[in-house]
Structure 1
């Protein structure tokens, strides 16, 4: 009898029992392995800085190579870099002649205050550690991070603007987090879910180490189960288990540490809900940071079957850091296999060592490391497929079952993608439209009230960005309330007209909002106009100024309240009873009077007075709370603004666009508003990346200064999705969408009283003003006869509605108070109905989109028929060489000539044949009599081309860039001296 047949199973059973008991008692098998030696170089509250294999400092000994500082993710122990000495990161790098360093954040649940740490604390700590490594070694540092540790590396590099960094090495570190979420979760669901979890879950709880381990394992449950089964099957064979025992113990228990709730909440909010690794504008202790500031080399190690740091997400670094030379190294492994295990020891770490030597100019570029190709923003790579993951570690039958399930789910997701996007947009927009629809003259609504609501709902939400700093809603609201107390202390009451003469900065926004909260009227005074006239038109009783405008304000015969100015504030003024330093008023000692009620403004109440210039005269524009609300809610709805957006306010706050569109839309949408000190092309690109700007506001030809600037360069990706404003010329519009693709333009049209608002939301038809906003006023076109200057009636005596593509006067059905200067008409389409005439001419195409034609009083009536300025300008704007165009009338011996002036793009030219082609088939009206090119075009403070200087110059002089319309051929020909003389003499051709 063969006794081995009996003893072998018994021995196997005994070995299994013995090894199993050891695992139960000690958590694993004793391997005899000892950790690699290290020295604690620095120990502070946030971290300990380890230097592995500290060098022998005796003279003549070999000095260490380039330093590599390794960063672990928050939920994983820093010991991950030394799981096994011979096959771990620090051991392999040391043998290759690299100097390994590790930052150890410790376990936050075992450190005083550790569970209160946020992401910014880790980034700042890492930056301090880089300083220490640089100081000790005297060499630039290679920063290497795994998973979230790599995100820390990117963020710290951006925070430092790559100072003292030789390169960044990131292992499976997501950058474009919405490009591919784990388990192929739909990106459209992530922002709302992440915001909810950050605000309502992780603001209250933390994640203990065991839960972090469980969550990591559940991301790949098949592989987890397979690993455990393999371990149990080999439990009898100690020698087979020992080589991988350290790694197993690390993943099973020892490697996981707690994760603080504030850090998780900030990760979810900044980098998943708002994806600010890509867009920029993430906050590090109040400083705004963008990855576009990284300019050192980057190596991204990509796991081909990594379902956590998915390839599409990891490769986002190429677009996020356009100034960096970005390389990638692709390994067919999962997330943890990138840094620990057989492939890591045989591929990852030798490659990293070779990369470090290549950067240090002592080696060649490692094999398999290639420049990362630029991925499209709308990537088709939806994530690591279930098939790839199953091939990597499951049976064929299981693979087939999951593949079918994934394919079916993918089809459902694809089929419902549009419906889901529509549902998300509708859920965000409908409440705004419903609230706008409920506004009547007795509704309490105002800027101050909306800001109070936002501060109540999201006190820690980011509200205001300025000069690279971020201010929360709670901080801004507290400042507004303090200024209200200061105004009350100096005697300002509800209904008083207070001038605001300040440059665009947070204190100006606060002053305007404080006056709104008090119920006073903010008179927004442009600094470049006659201030005495503005004060008279605005019935200003006293004025708020910043130190910059104090001298100008003191010239007015009224009291000046000085607010803001920053740390460098020094009024340096003699004692003056008419000058009050608001910053010296202690709000805590101000007793609020019995009459004060915060935010008392009703929709019908006058809230602001702004100014514009017409014909050289200063005009005061009264803005009620209702007018402000219509623009604010309309902007937020049309632009689909949310908390993920950052609205860039290029226009000054004293301009209606800054107040109504930028500030109003951002406040209502809960978006961040980024204030600019003014339009400077050299600062534009830097700020949109630093602030993570998604929406840019403009007026007229403002963006022309950016596009035309010789130094303008837009390399790599940008976060902008939308430009919103009014008056953008069609030629500039085309160039903006080409340069900033895939962003598009939302063009608004709004009358000064807010009764008529149009918006081209889709941006598909360049030049169109779009359609009425849902929830806005009812609009109609009354048929119009330009020859007789009459609104046409039907057989019953009511106004006839214009047919498609027929010219008409834009009429608005008012709701609430009507401006007393408005053209009110009754019995228009029905008995006793009331409509307001905007005096603007429009046409509506077959799709229902409105196109501007002209102002009723500015139509040029030539002997050939009417010439409509907007129609002509839109047509010539389609020519690629045309930058700006204006059309105006010139009186010649009692008759009108229509003249179009063109400003060309740098280096542009317009052949007469192209000009004739563009103006041959106008949808309405006649082409101009004369077209000429001007060397430059004067713009107003709001960037609107000024016609008066051109009209005053009369008929253009003959030149190679001036043409007249030949009536015989209906083509444009060169304007000669003889032709000009004939035209000036009043003779018809």
Structure 2
């Protein structure tokens, strides 16, 4: 009998028992490995800064090279960079002539106050560590971060605007987090879940180290199970286990540390739910930061089977940082395998060393490093599927089978995607529409009340962005309450009309909201050009709130002046007997609230604001009730599907109805952030939308023209905007806007001043359409209309007839709440005793039910040929690619009324007679204009609306190469000659000359 056949199993059993006992007693096998030497260069409560192989170390064989500062994720120990001295990051980089540094955030559960740390603490700490490395070495720093550590690198580089940073190296670090979530989680569901966890779970609990380890292992359960089985099967073979023992012990126990709840909550909210690594506008120490400020080179390591830092998510850095040169290295590895293990030792870290030497001018670009390609494709939800990782582990499925399965799965995903999106958006908007539908005369609803509700539900929610800073709902709400106390102290009571003469700034928003909370009426005055004295008179104003910038104008008015904003230390140099009160010097805590005061007392029927329009040079007051405000606010939030992840960019002044009702109203109801702008400046527009992470831009009329048509406009890389909301945008500008900001869309609103009729083009598919009635916004109908005789048509029973598809009609609205005394009220319209209001706007409704504005009934142009609908004509000519702006108006001459359309042209472009003929031939209803001519410019109002009074005063244009007239017999346009002009004027005078 062979003796070895008997002894070998016994020896194996004894070796297994001995090694197993050592594992149980010590947690693992004793490898005899010695960690790489390091020196603690800086020690603070938040972090320790290690320098490996310091200059006085015996292990250092050469002068220090370029410094690389390595950053670990929150849940892993900083020792991950030195799991094994020979194959670990610091050892390999040192051997390659690199100077390795490591920031160690420590274990927060072992430090006093550690479990209160948030993400900002980590980024500020890394920011300080970079300064220390730079001061010590005299060289710019290469940042290298794994997983969330790479996210820290990106965020810190943006926070310091790449100062003293030579490059960023990120390993499996997600940027576009919603492009591909782990385990194939759909982005809509993932965002909602992350928001819920942030607000309701991790604001109460922390994540211990064992839970972090378990969660990491559950992401790849097969690999975890296989590693443990292999370990047990080789437990008898110590020599086989020792090379991987340190890595096993690190992953199984020693490498995991606790997460603080606030840090997890902030991670989930800012960078998963709101995806602000991509959109920008994330908050670091009250400063708004965007990755577009990164300008140093970036190298992203992409794991081919990485389910945590999935390729689609990692590659988001290319679009998020358009100013950086971005490169990538693809490695067939999972998440942890990118930085620790055989692949990392042979591929990752030698490539990092080559990267640093290349940027230092010591070598050429490594072959493994390639420029990251632009990807404009909209990300899907597949990412790295669980099945891909399972196949990577077991290698049992063929590539053909996988391709078929992936194709089938993709079809299912695409089918389900729209259903999930619809479900999420319905869940978000339905409560808003339901609440709007429940409002009646006696419902308490107001701007001040909604802000109160948001502050109560999410006090730490970010609300107001201005000058690069962020203010929470709680902070703004506290300021509003303080201003209310100040107003009470100077005698302002419920129902009093108070003028607001302020530039768009936080203090203006606070003043308007404080008057709403008090139950007073905010009369919104227009600095600096309006007739302020007339606004005071017709607005019934008793006091004016102003800011220091408008104080001089306010002091000329015959009312008490209240100055708000600028801080408590400013000196306004006011005389003792001045009629001016410095609100900032009032101590709110010293003001006793009177017995009559109840916060937010306003009913829906109550007057809340007075705004002004200018009509023919005269101020016309527009009364806005709380219901009118609520209708626009809830309607905007619903139509734009606004949520807490959005940021609304308020380009219009708050004294304008669009700024008050759409931008501010929609943001407050949606619980979103609102970014106030100092005004429209094309050179600042792109900077601010990235800095603030703007997702929704408000506009009026032609406002966006100065942005998209600016010669210096360059939109590189990613932008966060998903939607433009407003009213009056010409179709041509609409098309240029969506082309420039693709895939962003436009939601165009139409609303009468009294708010009785509201339409919204939510889909944005039909450019130029005003859309359909807004759900919850009241009932509207289109009354059949004979434009030639200016008559609303009746049926054979005497009721008003409803316009058929593509027939001309007058828009009627079923009234809700108080009716404006100047409104055109109709009774017995469609049924006995019913009441409707005629908006006096003329529309057509297409076969799909979408409304198209034709003009205002009194302003329709009635020529000898028939009726010309000015809005229809203007829209048609605006669709010509060469046309910039257009306006259609009437000119009265001896020969009758002439319809004239003025156009301006885009730089370097021209129009032909064929362009004009084709454009007007496509109009479904109405006649083409008599004359079309090119003008140098079309005057715009303060709200960027084209005005025609000056053009009308010039009469019919003179004959020229850039003027055309319509030949009624042929329906074609010809060059306007002196003879043709004389005929239009009805004078027979052909003295006009061609230019």
TM-score, normalisation: structure 2: 0.97
- Rounded Cα–Cα distance in structure 2 between residues aligned with 1:946 and 1:504: 24
- Rounded Cα–Cα distance in structure 2 between residues aligned with 1:13 and 1:576: 101
1:127-526 alignment, distance < 5 Å? 127-380=127-380, 382-394=382-394, 396=396, 413-526=413-526
- Rounded Cα–Cα distance in structure 2 between residues aligned with 1:986 and 1:201: 82
CA offsets 1:853-905 (integer angstroms, 9 cap, x no match): 01000011111111111110111111001111000000101610000000111
The answer as to whether partners of 2:179 and 2:380 remain within 8 angstroms in 1 is no
CA offsets 1:734-759 (integer angstroms, 9 cap, x no match): 10010000001100000000000000
The answer as to whether partners of 1:731 and 1:877 remain within 8 angstroms in 2 is yes
Residue 104 (str. 1) matches residue 126 (str. 2): no
- Rounded Cα–Cα distance in structure 2 between residues aligned with 1:450 and 1:401: 55
- Rounded Cα–Cα distance in structure 2 between residues aligned with 1:894 and 1:876: 25
The answer as to whether partners of 2:37 and 2:52 remain within 8 angstroms in 1 is yes
- Kindly tell me: are residues 891 and 194 of structure 1, through their superposed partners in 2, closer, same or farther at Cα, counting changes over 3 Å? same
1:693-772 alignment, distance < 5 Å? 693-772=694-773
- In structure 1, the gaps of 5 or more residues are none
- Rounded Cα–Cα distance in structure 1 between residues aligned with 2:197 and 2:57: 51
More divergent stretch after superposition (417-426 vs 448-457): 417-426
The answer as to whether partners of 1:628 and 1:664 remain within 8 angstroms in 2 is yes
- Rounded Cα–Cα distance in structure 2 between residues aligned with 1:630 and 1:864: 41
The answer as to whether partners of 1:312 and 1:381 remain within 8 angstroms in 2 is no
Partner of 2:541: 540
Offset of 1:456 from its aligned partner?
A: 0.6
Partner of 1:553: 554
The answer as to whether partners of 2:880 and 2:919 remain within 8 angstroms in 1 is yes
- Kindly tell me: are residues 584 and 776 of structure 1, through their superposed partners in 2, closer, same or farther at Cα, counting changes over 3 Å? same
- Rounded Cα–Cα distance in structure 2 between residues aligned with 1:988 and 1:695: 54
**Other structure's SS at 1:523 match:** strand
**Other structure's SS at 1:471 match:** strand
Offset of 1:537 from its aligned partner?
A: 1.2
The answer as to whether partners of 2:482 and 2:588 remain within 8 angstroms in 1 is yes
**Other structure's SS at 1:808 match:** strand
**Other structure's SS at 2:838 match:** strand
Partner of 1:785: 786
The answer as to whether partners of 2:567 and 2:584 remain within 8 angstroms in 1 is no
More divergent stretch after superposition (770-779 vs 786-795): 786-795
- Kindly tell me: are residues 185 and 410 of structure 1, through their superposed partners in 2, closer, same or farther at Cα, counting changes over 3 Å? farther
- Rounded Cα–Cα distance in structure 2 between residues aligned with 1:186 and 1:352: 33
- In structure 2, the gaps of 5 or more residues are 991-995
Offset of 1:678 from its aligned partner?
A: 0.5
Offset of 1:468 from its aligned partner?
A: 0.6
**Other structure's SS at 1:510 match:** helix
- Rounded Cα–Cα distance in structure 1 between residues aligned with 2:125 and 2:937: 53
1:613-632 alignment, distance < 5 Å? 613-632=614-633
Offset of 1:388 from its aligned partner?
A: 2.9
- Rounded Cα–Cα distance in structure 2 between residues aligned with 1:166 and 1:493: 60
Partner of 2:83: 83
More divergent stretch after superposition (535-544 vs 397-406): 397-406
The answer as to whether partners of 1:648 and 1:673 remain within 8 angstroms in 2 is yes
The answer as to whether partners of 1:777 and 1:815 remain within 8 angstroms in 2 is yes
CA offsets 1:923-978 (integer angstroms, 9 cap, x no match): 11111111001111111000001110100111112221111112232211111223
- Kindly tell me: are residues 353 and 285 of structure 1, through their superposed partners in 2, closer, same or farther at Cα, counting changes over 3 Å? same
- Kindly tell me: are residues 401 and 961 of structure 1, through their superposed partners in 2, closer, same or farther at Cα, counting changes over 3 Å? closer
Partner of 1:801: 802
Offset of 1:412 from its aligned partner?
A: 5.1
**Other structure's SS at 1:396 match:** coil
More divergent stretch after superposition (971-980 vs 899-908): 971-980
1:921-936 alignment, distance < 5 Å? 921-936=922-937
Partner of 1:49: 49
Partner of 2:69: 69
**Other structure's SS at 2:674 match:** strand
**Other structure's SS at 1:732 match:** helix
CA offsets 1:470-500 (integer angstroms, 9 cap, x no match): 1111111100000001101111000000000
Aligned CA RMSD, in angstroms, stands at 1.9
Offset of 1:573 from its aligned partner?
A: 3.1
The answer as to whether partners of 2:545 and 2:564 remain within 8 angstroms in 1 is yes
Offset of 1:408 from its aligned partner?
A: 8.1
CA offsets 1:140-163 (integer angstroms, 9 cap, x no match): 110000000000000000101111
- Rounded Cα–Cα distance in structure 2 between residues aligned with 1:477 and 1:712: 38
Offset of 1:294 from its aligned partner?
A: 0.5
- Rounded Cα–Cα distance in structure 2 between residues aligned with 1:4 and 1:629: 90
Partner of 2:864: 863
- Rounded Cα–Cα distance in structure 1 between residues aligned with 2:598 and 2:662: 27
Offset of 1:567 from its aligned partner?
A: 7.7
CA offsets 1:517-565 (integer angstroms, 9 cap, x no match): 0000000000120100111111000000000000000000111000012
Partner of 1:823: 824
Offset of 1:400 from its aligned partner?
A: 12
Residue 644 (str. 1) matches residue 645 (str. 2): yes
- Kindly tell me: are residues 62 and 225 of structure 1, through their superposed partners in 2, closer, same or farther at Cα, counting changes over 3 Å? closer
- Rounded Cα–Cα distance in structure 2 between residues aligned with 1:206 and 1:922: 64
**Other structure's SS at 1:820 match:** coil
Offset of 1:847 from its aligned partner?
A: 0.5
Offset of 1:818 from its aligned partner?
A: 1.0
- Rounded Cα–Cα distance in structure 2 between residues aligned with 1:772 and 1:889: 30
Offset of 1:907 from its aligned partner?
A: 1.6
**Other structure's SS at 2:921 match:** coil
Offset of 1:391 from its aligned partner?
A: 2.9
The answer as to whether partners of 2:568 and 2:585 remain within 8 angstroms in 1 is no
- Rounded Cα–Cα distance in structure 2 between residues aligned with 1:121 and 1:734: 44
Partner of 1:3: 3
**Other structure's SS at 1:366 match:** coil
**Other structure's SS at 2:153 match:** helix
The answer as to whether partners of 1:604 and 1:816 remain within 8 angstroms in 2 is yes
The answer as to whether partners of 1:312 and 1:382 remain within 8 angstroms in 2 is no
The answer as to whether partners of 1:937 and 1:945 remain within 8 angstroms in 2 is yes
Count residues in correspondence: 988
Offset of 1:386 from its aligned partner?
A: 3.2
- Rounded Cα–Cα distance in structure 2 between residues aligned with 1:129 and 1:135: 10
- Kindly tell me: are residues 30 and 399 of structure 1, through their superposed partners in 2, closer, same or farther at Cα, counting changes over 3 Å? farther
- Rounded Cα–Cα distance in structure 2 between residues aligned with 1:797 and 1:489: 59
- Rounded Cα–Cα distance in structure 1 between residues aligned with 2:313 and 2:92: 28
Partner of 2:993: none
- Rounded Cα–Cα distance in structure 1 between residues aligned with 2:897 and 2:571: 57
Partner of 2:945: 944
Offset of 1:175 from its aligned partner?
A: 0.3
CA offsets 1:765-789 (integer angstroms, 9 cap, x no match): 0000000011111111111112221
**Other structure's SS at 1:630 match:** helix
- Rounded Cα–Cα distance in structure 2 between residues aligned with 1:839 and 1:400: 65
Residue 667 (str. 1) matches residue 661 (str. 2): no
More divergent stretch after superposition (951-960 vs 895-904): 951-960
Partner of 2:841: 840
Offset of 1:385 from its aligned partner?
A: 2.8
The answer as to whether partners of 2:546 and 2:561 remain within 8 angstroms in 1 is yes
- Rounded Cα–Cα distance in structure 1 between residues aligned with 2:134 and 2:354: 21
The answer as to whether partners of 1:386 and 1:403 remain within 8 angstroms in 2 is no
The answer as to whether partners of 1:386 and 1:402 remain within 8 angstroms in 2 is no
**Other structure's SS at 1:178 match:** helix
**Other structure's SS at 1:973 match:** strand
